[in-house]
Structure 1
């Protein structure tokens, strides 16, 4: 399956602002690219690309005063199958986990382990397989939180989402990650593209999305607490302990987001040279869902 995706974003600043961008696909997915992946800015500014501590393809820059447009558009080939479902995937004893997985058991900025221990164990103590435990926690988070872009708040943690019972997709992911770590199942936060492929489209502009991965059965598996169903067409841009590590943009100073457009559409080979349809959003409302 070929997916054409990308972004058109504008930041407004009043002084030079150092910025970190996570707007490229994971390095491991770069062989799937069918067109050049390139970040373009207007005005043109110097970009420095590097691998961050979580293996993400990151980009550093300094936004000049005024409006800076950041754009990207590429085609990538992804499997046309939904997220795998492996009910017999086991939970590993902590003593047997790989060294690089241990960090995803620890508490982090938005996933405060130790505050939802009783809730997590109460929902899973009767279950045998690691898969069933993770899926039970996904369902718990999915049913606990009401989704709505107007609920967005960038300081909300997973435990906050549990108590407030509202949020956007990053809050669903943070809550599910927190619950998994409470019962010693490693979990990591993911962000990227997820188009309305194989599902009824929602009546809202396309956005970046957040989900998570749990380490069971000897590998990482994808779970999605917001949608609570396997989906087709995920494209991972960044992973980390939580949204701190996988933020699409991180500004070290004041920067206003004044335009935001994301496109994610299945295309045929004959569509590769066609520019994506542009949807103008003159004022960004502050949602990363």
Structure 2
């Protein structure tokens, strides 16, 4: 079993009173267990928390006054991912569950309708199933250059396909798009994971629905999928932004530190996630 220690610090200059939505806390998900966490917000203010029962995403909202806002999240997480079988079939569209069907549709950053012809030309001849999604993952890794700073918040999968460069979220968006274009439900997953380069940051991968289960894929190959602490799951990046501002705010600092290791097999594991402690001040 793997363990992860997470420390995330975000600091902002709030130029006018602003409502902010954060998605920073480890999600409620069967693949890991939060055994300890602490959220500290400075200056002290009222915070509203909620979570999405379908995705497990956890959110908190606040009304930030003018001035410097600091948000610090610390967590200890035990990971117990399920092994991926060597063979998984694709699910016919008629058998896709109702709550999964919307992951087949085009979305803001994933134009699966406009890239459908390219997807069929590249991968339509391959046998359906896990191997075809692996082929998509491999093609993105081999064809798209990882270039920090090359893309921006408006870059879509089609842009990445044309420009052949981007960062982890761009790799994931392209994987989602090519899967959906082949009638394979796919979605974005973001979270915390340790990797050596570039410096620690939020990481994005994609997930495909195969044989009645979600399977993670990472075309960047920057870190093992079984080490990812999931924070957000959604159709694309607009669903899983770590912070959404409704006002005039500038980021001053973002520091992430992730330490990961292996737990001894005899280490006891709690049955339920530990309750978070919220500190404002």
Q: Structure 1 residues 55, 75: CA separation in 2 closer, same or farther (over 3 Å shift)?
A: closer
TM-score, normalised with respect to structure 2: 0.87
Q: Structure 1 residues 127, 267: CA separation in 2 closer, same or farther (over 3 Å shift)?
A: closer
- The residue that corresponds to 1:15 in the other structure is 16
1:229 shift after superposition: 7.5
Q: Does 1:224 align with 2:218?
A: yes
1:2 shift after superposition: 1.8
The aligned runs of 1:246-285 (5 Å cut-off) are 246-266=240-260
How many pairs are equivalent? 261
- The residue that corresponds to 1:284 in the other structure is none
1:60 shift after superposition: 0.9
Q: Structure 1 residues 25, 176: CA separation in 2 closer, same or farther (over 3 Å shift)?
A: same
- What secondary structure, in the 3-state scheme, does the structure 1 residue paired with 2:125 have? coil
1:28 shift after superposition: 2.5
- The residue that corresponds to 1:279 in the other structure is none
Counterparts of 1:212 and 1:233 in 2: how far apart (Å)?
Answer: 14
Cα deviation digits, residues 59-101 of structure 1 (max 9, x gap): 111221111000011111113x7x8443420011100011000
- Structure ranking higher in strand proportion: 2
Contact 2:130–2:210 under 8 Å retained in 1: yes
Contact 1:91–1:131 under 8 Å retained in 2: yes
Counterparts of 2:91 and 2:64 in 1: how far apart (Å)?
Answer: 45
- What secondary structure, in the 3-state scheme, does the structure 1 residue paired with 2:247 have? coil
Q: Does 1:139 align with 2:133?
A: no
TM-score, normalised with respect to structure 1: 0.85
Which consecutive unaligned segments of at least 5 residues does structure 1 have?
A: 270-289
Q: Does 1:214 align with 2:208?
A: yes
For CA contacts below 8 A with separation 6 or more, give which structure has more relative contact order.
Answer: 2
Cα deviation digits, residues 135-171 of structure 1 (max 9, x gap): 1111222222211212130100111111111111000
The aligned runs of 1:19-38 (5 Å cut-off) are 19-28=20-29, 32-35=33-36, 37-38=37-38
Counterparts of 1:237 and 1:57 in 2: how far apart (Å)?
Answer: 8
- The residue that corresponds to 1:274 in the other structure is none
Q: Structure 1 residues 84, 141: CA separation in 2 closer, same or farther (over 3 Å shift)?
A: farther
Contact 2:110–2:236 under 8 Å retained in 1: yes
Structure 1 stretches of at least 4 aligned residues deviating more than 4 Å after TM superposition? none
